[in-house]
Chain A
Amino acid sequence: MIDLQGLLSYFTHFAIMAGIYSIFCLGLNIHWGYTGLFNIGIAGFFCIGAYTSALITIPPPTGVYANYVTQVFALNLPFPFGVLGAALVCGIIAFLIGIPTLRLREDYLAIATIGIAETIRLIFHNESWIANGVRGISGIPQPLSSLVDPRNYNFIYLGIVILIMITVYILIERGIRSPWGRVLRAIREDEESASMLGKNIFAFKMQSLIFGAIVMGIGGALFAHYNKSIAPDTFTPLYGTFIIWVMLIVGGSGNSKGAILGGFVIYGLWVLPEFITRYLPVALQSRAPYIRFLIIGIVLELILRYRPRGLMGEEKHVSRLLK
């Protein structure tokens, strides 16, 4: 019986994390899957979203603790303000990144985003007056936590994550399966030709970049409130960018359902070694964490070789308004 409870709570934890990663993946799908924007700086938006929401919602430090923590501000506002703030700040950052890079070839966006993501992480790392530097922020409040026993809290949080994921999904689908999305897909196929049809390429790319970044910022906020503490080393390119790309490629670039599926499948494979470690020979147990890299690598290779469009590729008839 205890085992069953343990399994259930583990599954809840898994679903929350996979759900959050799926939200990043949905954001990346707007950028890459539909518009062809090569954003390899997801970690930057992840980081900004997490820190913004944390600083907006956290109460100002009191007592002895106050001597050990420096924060640029601590607003003690409710959770929804944190999420909206994260979305807003990420949108603004995306806008600023977009101004110089979106008029250039797509590779420049890639270089800029990866550079900016690392810069953002290092700023939080070194500028300790913003958010306590390397030690990070802890004690980030959780929404509705007073309502239930802390042991059961994760069920509530899972509900929140799923709700936000579905909302984001619906907003994306509405936009993509209509003329707006058609223009984005056209830009992905041939920019010059789309501009010859009177479409303002820069404006559409900018909208896509901002929309995707907002989604990523919301994901970052959800991560911060779930983990309760965040530190700059969470937002390295491996955890913040690479794995999300693998999720999108495996799930199916250009398909929002595929993005969510990819999020769950890859996060599942990512945590799998935690289960199999105990069955391994002792000599291998210490190396178990590296097995996940092996597994993810092999899966990525297999997908690229045998299902290059991913588990669920783009649908042929995307525009839903035509039915």
Chain B
Amino acid sequence: MLEIKDLRKRFGGLKAVWDCSLRVEKGSITGLIGPNGAGKTTLFNLITGFYKPDSGEIIFKGESIHGMLPHNIFKKGIFRTFQITREFNKLTVLENLMIVQHPQTGENIWNTWFLFHKVKKEEMVIRKKALEVLEFVELIDHRKEYAGALSGGQKKLLELAKSMMAEPEMVLLDEPGAGVNPTLMNKLIEKIRALSKEKGMTFFLIEHDMDLVMNLCNPVIVMSEGRKLTEGSPDYIRSHEGVLEAYLGGQYGIDPQ
């Protein structure tokens, strides 16, 4: 579904992503792990058009999306969430979801003046969908609150809700589990699985919580120093020597005996 070929991005002297090549298969829940500074979030930013790659290719559904603007990449069917959640603080939870729907007749100012009834009708449909999604992530009771007033874990659920609202073909989740308590975490895993199974959404997620990764993802891709180190099933990754080495630095990777 998503293919990255020899992607490079350098910030000054820092080679953030260097000759990175990997694939994400359709319908999979692919995990992306690696030590801090491995280039995982940079890779997400490159895929979603926040940064322009220096060289290399990004192919989504057989089409190059290299160098496109973020809002056009969204239209191609890729949705991303951020490591630190980025909801619209002074919009209510419901509005945070309703805005995701695309396209909307009412987003043209002429239509709000001259096609008011059509806009209103559409708004009712969008609202119904948003309420269903909120029901699913169990945030329905908070729908009238400012999104900024939600707890950290609830904000993570809201991000997931937004990805459901968008109904993209592929979701990039940047640390969905960070700062989420274990109960909520299990709920999150369950929701992601359900979405993958029922709606056939493809997930590509960065995560540091190994329980979550090993539990949810298959395959798991390991990144280190800007490129793919290895890839495989959770069991394979767990027993792979190079992974531990990448995480902990050389000396721990060598068998002490």
Contacts and interface: CB of A to CB of B under 8 A. Distances in A.
Given A179-B107, A180-B108, A196-B48, A189 B89 contact: yes
Contacts of A185: 88, 90-91
Given A179-B99, A192-B50, A198-B71, A207 B90 contact: no
A317 interface: yes
Interface stretch (B109-117, B132-140, B225-233, B241-249): B109-117
Interface string A179-203: 1111101101110111111111100
Interface stretch (B119-127, B190-198, B212-220): B119-127
B123 A319 contact: yes
Contacts of A195: 69-71, 74
A171 interface: yes
Chain B interface size, under 10 / 10 to 19 / 20 to 34 / 35 or more:
35 or more
Given A180-B112, A183-B99, A196 B88 contact: no
Nearest to B124: A321
B106 interface: yes
Contacts of A321: 106, 119-120, 123-124
Interface in A88-134: none
Contacts of B79: 196
A292 interface: no
A209 to B, nearest CB: 13
Contact of B116 (A174, A186, A200): A174
B91 A189 contact: yes
A227 interface: no
B112 to A, nearest CB: 4
Contact of B74 (A171, A198, A314): A198
A314 B148 CA distance: 15
Contacts, number: 105
B80 interface: yes
Contacts of B88: 185-186, 189-190, 193-194
B112 A175 contact: yes
Nearest to A183: B107
B104 interface: yes
A192 B99 contact: no
B19 interface: no
B140 to A, nearest CB: 15
B90 A314 contact: yes
A178 B112 contact: yes
A193 B146 CA distance: 16
A282 interface: no
A314 B88 CA distance: 15
A182 B80 contact: no
A102 to B, nearest CB: 14
Contacts of A305: none
Contact of B92 (A198, A200, A316): A316
Contacts of B106: 178-180, 321
14 contacts: A178-B123, A179-B104, A180-B108, A181-B112, A189-B90, A189-B91, A190-B86, A193-B82, A196-B48, A201-B71, A314-B90, A316-B92, A319-B98, A322-B123
Interface of A: 171, 174-175, 178-183, 185-186, 188-190, 192-201, 207, 211, 314, 316-319, 321-322
